[in-house]
Amino acid sequence: MSLRMAGPRWRQADPLIGISALGLTGLGVLLVTSATWQYFEAPTLVGNTWFVKQVLFAVVGLALMIACAIIHPRVFHALAYPIYGLSLLGLTAVLFLGQGSAEYGAQRWIEVAGVPLQPSEATKVAMVIVLARVFAGGSPNLPTIIYSAALVATPVALIYLQPDLGTALVLIATWAGMVFLAGTPKRYLFAIAGLTAVAMPVIWLGLKDYMRQRVMIFLDPQADPLDQGYNILQAQISIGSGGMWGKGLLEGTQTQLRYLRVSHSDFIFSVLGEELGFIGAIVLFALFLFLLFRILHSHDIANDRFSGLLCAGVGSMIAFQAVANLGANVGITPVVGIPLPFVSYGGSALVTQLAALGLVQATLIRRRRYRFEA
């Protein structure tokens, strides 16, 4: 009897992860197209710049996903700190050279060769890689947890200064998910939860005025229905009016008559709810749940701890963003500007999310599988 490695390694990639990601991305292209259709006097697919850009973003993202899948995880392990350093450099550049919305003085993009880039999106993946390396040594002890928290605190502070509370929360949630899935002893988990609870008043006072206002409006949107609470109320109207089957693509009155603001980004789910209805929402939920299940399965079967933690980080990052965005659309979480992964309009976000799935596939392609032969 002999032991042989089973099959070509490329066959070990999980096609279901790719299918789920393609389904979400394709759905996103449809919804972005519908959400921006009313901006053109004589709309066509080629003339819709949002549609064209989102398709190009998807193509670039898929190419980068394949590229990341080809690279061995040990390369990411070796380059974890340089990648982390480059992400900090990009965030620092935003503070001095940044572009973006004038609202609240936000600066979130830098332009490279005429292409606008959002370094905070790439930072999400960089944090997953560096935290996977930090936790790869074994069950986290107190010094490891403190060290990892310090690594996260630096980009969180730089992102908060832009200001971008949503992305800062994503980094914190990703860290928390990786701490949990890394097998941290319960006593440390309870200590982290306790310190967070004690620090909440300080965190609340440290928020900018408009951030605190968003939380208050979340609790009572009717308090300012024509300004701060407007988007929340219109989103709920949009979702509720869709019924079981929806009004049809390009037929949503809230979307096409521009009652629903930021419909192609933060409130893309409200477009889905109005135009594709409950059935469309179920399809979206199923795709997300299936994708997350496959990512967690990849974490469970990974060969080594570093590879498994890459999967844990990617899963935590995607899950938190999905829950935060969907919760904001239906009014159960505050609106903090977190886009819906793979679905909302945005080049930097879509490209980095697909690249992150490439990290998961890389761990699967290198997974050792053996078969016994007589």
Confidence class for position 44, pLDDT limits 50, 70, 90: confident
pLDDT tens per residue, range 312-334: 999 999 999 999 999 999 989 89
pLDDT tens per residue, range 221-247: 887 777 778 888 888 999 989 899 999
Q: Which is more confident, 136 or 215?
A: 136
What tokens does 350 get?
């879509």
Residue 163 preceded by cis peptide, ω within 30: yes
What size, in residues, is the chain?
374
Q: Residue 203: its pLDDT value, please?
A: 86
Q: Flag whether pLDDT at 6 surpasses 50.
A: no
* Range name among 185-189, 203-207, 274-278, 300-304 with the lowest pLDDT average: 203-207
pLDDT tens per residue, range 329-370: 998 989 888 999 999 998 899 999 999 999 999 999 987 654
Q: Residue 1: its pLDDT value, please?
A: 38
Q: Which is more confident, 88 or 43?
A: 88
Q: Residue 219: its pLDDT value, please?
A: 81
119-135 and 142-160 helices, crossing angle to 10°: 180
pLDDT tens per residue, range 145-163: 999 999 999 999 999 988 8
CA within 13 Å, CB half, 178: 35
Q: Residue 310: its pLDDT value, please?
A: 96
Q: Residue 141: its pLDDT value, please?
A: 93
Q: Flag whether pLDDT at 133 surpasses 70.
A: yes
Q: Residue 213: its pLDDT value, please?
A: 86
β partners of residue 109: 99
pLDDT tens per residue, range 70-124: 999 999 999 999 999 999 999 998 888 766 554 445 667 777 666 778 999 999 9
Q: Residue 102: its pLDDT value, please?
A: 41
- pLDDT averaged over every residue in the chain: 88
pLDDT above 70 coverage of the chain, percent: 92
Instruction: With H, G, I as helix, E, B as strand and everything else as coil, classify residue 373.
Output: strand
- Tell me how many degrees the CA angle 282-287-291 measures, rounded to the nearest 5: 150
End-to-end CA distance of the chain: 4
**Rounded Cα gap, residues 221 and 243, in angstroms:** 23
Contact 45, 33 (CB under 8 A): yes
Q: Residue 230: its pLDDT value, please?
A: 85
Q: Flag whether pLDDT at 144 surpasses 90.
A: yes
Q: Which is more confident, 129 or 263?
A: 129
Q: Residue 368: its pLDDT value, please?
A: 65
Output the pTM of the full model: 0.91
